[in-house]
DNA sequence: TAAGCAGAGCTTTTT
DNA sequence: GCTCTGCTTA
């Protein structure tokens, strides 16, 4: 087993072979984090400290989970099948499937993705006659998800104003609707699982006793509910909950307080550090400097809370970087040093300092794109593979102009993000038929395909059906006999169609899929459609997906132990269907084909996290864009932007380019921006300016040269002020006018003050000095 | 029932 | 400025 430990550096070795105790591993970018995690598991198993069944390893993405399983199989001659290694959602799903009765769910409960969830909410609002101007479905969706991610049921949400009260009512109605339809959304998987374990003591004990070691990847990305779930499984929650409310757990501690629990006993294992004799050992790996998902509920404070609540007394820091050259790491360290709330870490390498960081200032976004194309061409000539070059940007909208230039130049590229396989409309249609066969109460699936392909069931028929269903308190499908007349006849024909597909449940999954695509009329519909070729090909691909899904070796299989407790046996084949539908919801599939091609990689900084490239272009480094203007008002927001910049810089192995443009088309208007403060935060000696270094607070070039004033952009009363003008303000310092509106005493200008942010100023009030 | 047009929104995203 | 959504129109 010694080979496991070969070539580990001292810190990695310490982490891997840590005695049984809670641990926090601060793993810097490129420091071998995944290797430590997998080797730790292999070490625990091969030294017989734990059996494979005693391991619970949690990740955020399917990709990370798969990688962990693959590496583990390479390290150990064991069957990883059946091991509890997966995403939070995947593992919760597994638990809920095994104990669906105790969780109050139907056996074949379906999972709503965000699009399904939104459709469900829209349907709900319509049924309740809610003004969707006042309560936009998207807002409500965010509201509901945010509550669930904090562990709050509608009954537990405190509402201080009428609008929130109403939203809470709608949240409650949504909960009921989902329950009636037998569907769960993503957040529900976690919340429902948490509640199941919390309320069912025998079950909780069972899993607490089973999982002796809990390992968590990307711990800095956990939200409040996920951390609470981990504590529960680790056997820490009952003690930990009242152990002193932390800032992050504020929402939860309210609930704990209202439950009037007696003061909790001191944590076990006191006096022996973070010992875990009576509970599972938590091994949390994360990097607070790479926490970039605060906006979706990730609670960076969980790291500090974990350290305190689990009494972690030595944090292991993995600071040796095996990815980047020294200059790149120095730049990253210098940037992140400006953040105040850090656990602290400094990356280093013995690979040498390498090349300087190249900086380019463009007059416009178009020029920036053209320059990148030229530079990429030169890199290609020098033998760099295109797939080893990444173009990063802060927001998706920036990709368009880059794509335009690349397309004109004939350079192959691949854009990350966008529609994924199981999110395509034709695939979702086919899946909706399958879902209806599995569970006819699934109104979301019903509404999706009742009139697709068109079969004369219009809005009026649906409305009549909805009324009937509401009156009967039943699903849409079940209410069909209630609808009279012609509409009722068409609906009955649809019901008969679904029923006619049901016998196909006895067929093997691929044949079932084929059958449904045929009988539903989907194939015929796309055959007749002008642009239907690609959709037909995707439907064929769905068949392939089903075939390989059934054949898949490492597919999660429910262990007999758990399957037995679920009561009546599932029919083998409908189990395949249920698993496939779950797979479709939880793993929406690759973004796009063409992974094998030698193409330039275009993506947002967020999507680049976890990846690495020989050459990285970080474009659009402008105040207002990166850091984004919506983030600079609060220190918290700015620090997250800075971490994002840190992530961007640390993606590069050998060469890093930073670029920015004086003018950029944004929301249909030309924007004038200052260079990002993040460039200033890098020590000058690490930089090599490819254009004359930008003056502080100004441009190397005259703005006027790049700008032709249009009548609209002239500020009428503005004493010579116009868009693009550099100005000074007593409090905000230097800035540039990016927009103007109104006239006379109403005239206002929008000024980008760089570090002081973007401001709208009334000219009659603000004293602006033209520079 | 499909196409065509007006209107809104527009930072980042996995499950 | 572009793209997606939803409503109106032939």
Tell me the pLDDT tens digit for each residue of A302-354. 999 999 999 998 899 999 999 999 999 999 999 999 999 899 999 999 999 99
What mean pLDDT comes out for the span A568-586? 77
Beta-carbon contacts of A749 under 8 Å, excluding residues fewer than 6 positions away, are A715, A718, A721, A723, A737, A739, A740, A760, A761, A763, A768
Q: What percent of chain A has pLDDT over 70?
A: 85
What mean pLDDT comes out for the span A673-681? 94
Residue ranges of alpha helices (H) inside A450-532 are: 459-472, 485-501, 509-519, 522-528
Q: Structurally, what CATH architecture does the domain formed by A422-528 represent?
A: Orthogonal Bundle (1.10)
- Spatial strand order of the sheet with A23-27 comes to A84-87, A55-59, A213-216, A281-286, A23-27, A315-318
Beta-carbon neighbour count of residue A196 at 10 Å?
20
Q: In whole angstroms, what separates CA A542 from the centre of its chain?
A: 25
Average pLDDT over chain A, rounded to an integer: 85
Residue–nucleotide distance: A503 CA to C3 C1' (Å):
42
Is position A31 annotated in a ligand binding site?
yes
Identify, with chain letter, the residue nearest to nucleotide B14 (CA–C1'): A61
CA atoms within 13 A on the CB side of A66: 7
Q: How long is chain A?
A: 771
Q: Is A467 a catalytic residue?
A: no
Q: What is the distance between the alpha carbons of residues A392 and A388, in angstroms, rounded to a whole number?
A: 13
Q: Is the pLDDT of residue A708 over 70?
A: no
Identify which has the larger pLDDT, A622 or A694: A622
A397-427: burial string, b at 16+ Cβ within 10 Å, e else: ebbebbbebbeeeebebbbbeeeebbbbebb
Tell me the pLDDT tens digit for each residue of A620-654. 999 999 999 999 888 899 999 999 999 999 999 99
Q: In whole angstroms, what separates CA A352 from the centre of its chain?
A: 35
Tell me the pLDDT tens digit for each residue of A361-410. 999 999 999 999 999 999 999 999 999 999 999 999 999 999 999 999 99
Pair A324, A31: CB distance under 8 Å: no
A659: left (phi over 0), alpha (psi -120 to 50) or beta: beta
Q: Which of A231, A651, A655, A748 is catalytic?
A: A651
Tell me the pLDDT tens digit for each residue of A59-72. 999 999 999 999 99
Is position A571 annotated in a ligand binding site?
no
Strand B and A667 CB separated by under 7 Å: yes
Of A291, A275, A283, A273, the closest CA to residue A345 belongs to A291
Class of domain A110-181: mainly alpha
Q: List the CATH code of the domain at A357-420+592-689.
A: 3.40.50.300
What mean pLDDT comes out for the span A407-419? 91
The whole-number pLDDT of residue A557 equals: 54
Tell me the pLDDT tens digit for each residue of A27-38. 999 999 999 999
Tell me the pLDDT tens digit for each residue of A133-173. 889 999 999 999 999 999 999 999 998 888 899 999 999 99
Q: Which of A116, A185, A217, A289 is catalytic?
A: A217
CATH topology of domain A3-100+198-238+278-318: Rossmann fold (3.40.50)
The whole-number pLDDT of residue A757 equals: 74
Q: Which of residues 130-169 of A touch strand B (CB under 7 A)?
A: 136
Tell me the pLDDT tens digit for each residue of A533-575. 888 888 999 999 999 898 875 565 555 445 444 444 445 557 8
Q: Is the pLDDT of residue A707 over 90?
A: no
Q: In whole angstroms, what separates CA A623 from the centre of its chain?
A: 25
Identify which has the larger pLDDT, A394 or A714: A394
Tell me the pLDDT tens digit for each residue of A218-269. 999 999 999 999 999 998 755 444 333 333 333 333 333 333 333 444 444 3
The whole-number pLDDT of residue A269 equals: 39
The whole-number pLDDT of residue A746 equals: 60
Q: Which of A290, A311, A570, A725 is catalytic?
A: A290
Preceding peptide of A627 cis, ω within 30°: yes
Q: What is the distance between the alpha carbons of residues A96 and A94, in angstroms, rounded to a whole number?
A: 5
Pair A306, A282: CB distance under 8 Å: yes
pTM for this model (two decimals) = 0.85
| Structure-block tokens of residue A570 | 């599932």
Distances (CA, A) of A346 to A27, A261, A655: 11, 43, 20
Q: What is the distance between the alpha carbons of residues A524 and A531, in angstroms, rounded to a whole number?
A: 13
């Amino acid at each position: 087993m010694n080979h496991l430990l070969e070539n580990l550096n001292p810190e990695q070795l310490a982490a891997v072979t840590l005695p049984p105790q809670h641990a926090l591993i601060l793993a810097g970018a490129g420091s071998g984090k995944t290797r430590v995690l997998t080797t730790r598991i292999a070490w625990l198993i091969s030294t017989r400290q734990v059996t494979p069944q005693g391991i619970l390893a949690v990740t955020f993405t399917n990709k990370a989970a798969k990688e962990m399983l693959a590496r583990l199989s390479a390290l150990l001659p064991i069957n990883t099948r059946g091991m509890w290694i997966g995403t939070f959602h995947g593992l919760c799903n597994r638990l809920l499937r095994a104990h669906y009765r105790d969780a109050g769910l139907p056996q074949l409960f379906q999972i709503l993705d965000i699009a399904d969830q939104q459709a469900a909410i829209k349907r709900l609002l319509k049924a309740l006659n809610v003004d969707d101007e006042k309560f936009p479905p998207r807002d409500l969706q965010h509201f509901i998800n945010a509550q669930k991610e904090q562990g709050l049921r509608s009954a537990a949400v405190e509402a201080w104003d009428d609008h929130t009260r109403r939203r809470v009512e709608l949240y409650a109605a949504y909960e009921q609707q989902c329950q009636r339809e037998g569907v769960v959304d993503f957040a529900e998987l976690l919340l429902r699982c948490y509640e199941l374990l919390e309320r069912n003591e025998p079950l909780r004990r069972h899993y607490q006793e089973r999982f002796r070691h809990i390992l968590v990847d990307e711990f800095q990305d956990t939200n409040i509910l996920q951390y609470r779930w981990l504590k529960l499984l680790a056997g820490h929650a009952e003690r930990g909950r009242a152990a002193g409310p932390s800032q992050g757990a504020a929402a939860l501690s309210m609930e704990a307080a209202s439950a009037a629990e007696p003061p909790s006993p001191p944590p076990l294992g006191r006096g022996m550090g973070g010992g875990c004799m009576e509970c599972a050992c938590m091994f949390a790996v994360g990097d607070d400097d790479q926490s970039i998902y605060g906006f979706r509920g990730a609670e960076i404070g969980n790291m500090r809370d974990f350290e305190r609540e689990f009494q972690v007394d030595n944090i292991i820091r993995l600071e040796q970087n095996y990815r980047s050259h020294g200059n790149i790491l120095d730049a990253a360290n210098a940037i992140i040093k400006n953040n105040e709330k850090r656990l602290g870490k400094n990356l280093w390498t013995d690979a040498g300092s390498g090349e300087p960081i190249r900086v380019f200032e463009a007059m416009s976004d178009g020029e920036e794109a053209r320059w990148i194309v030229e530079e990429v061409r030169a890199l290609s000539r020098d033998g760099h593979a295109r797939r080893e070059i990444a173009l990063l940007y802060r927001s998706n909208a920036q990709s368009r102009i880059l794509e335009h230039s690349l397309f004109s130049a004939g350079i192959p590229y691949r854009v990350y993000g966008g529609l994924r396989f199981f999110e395509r409309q034709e695939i979702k249609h086919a899946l909706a038929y399958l879902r209806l066969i599995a569970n006819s109460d699934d109104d979301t699936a019903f509404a999706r395909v009742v009139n697709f392909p068109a079969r004369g069931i219009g809005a009026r028929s649906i409305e009549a059906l909805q009324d009937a269903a509401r009156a009967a308190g039943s699903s849409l499908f079940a209410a069909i006999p209630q609808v009279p007349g012609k509409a009722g006849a068409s609906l009955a024909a649809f019901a008969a169609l679904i029923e006619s597909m049901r016998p196909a449940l006895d067929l093997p999954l691929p044949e079932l899929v084929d059958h449904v695509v045929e009988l539903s009329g989907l194939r015929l519909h796309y055959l007749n459609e002008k642009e239907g070729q690609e959709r037909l090909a995707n439907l064929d691909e769905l068949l392939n997906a089903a075939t390989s899904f059934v054949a898949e070796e490492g597919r999660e299989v429910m262990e007999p132990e758990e399957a037995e407790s679920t009561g009546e046996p599932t029919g083998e084949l409908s189990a395949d269907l249920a698993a496939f539908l779950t797979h479709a919801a939880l793993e929406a599939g690759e973004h796009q084909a063409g992974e094998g091609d030698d193409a330039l990689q275009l993506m947002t900084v967020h999507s680049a996290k976890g990846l690495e490239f020989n050459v990285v272009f970080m474009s659009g480094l402008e105040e207002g864009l990166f850091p984004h203007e919506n983030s600079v008002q609060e220190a918290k927001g700015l620090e997250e932007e800075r971490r994002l910049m840190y992530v961007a810089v640390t993606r590069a192995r050998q060469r890093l380019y930073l670029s920015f443009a004086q003018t950029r088309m944004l929301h249909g208007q030309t924007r004038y921006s200052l260079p990002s403060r993040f460039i200033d935060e890098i020590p000058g000696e690490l930089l090599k300016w490819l254009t004359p270094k930008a003056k502080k607070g100004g441009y190397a070039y005259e703005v006027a040269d790049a700008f032709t004033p249009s009548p609209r952009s002239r500020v009428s009363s503005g004493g010579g002020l116009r868009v693009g003008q550099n100005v000074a303000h007593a409090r905000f310092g230097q800035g540039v006018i990016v927009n103007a509106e109104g006239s006379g005493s109403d005239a206002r200008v929008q000024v980008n003050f760089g570090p002081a942010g973007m401001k709208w100023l009334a000219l009659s009030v603000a004293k602006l000095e033209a520079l």
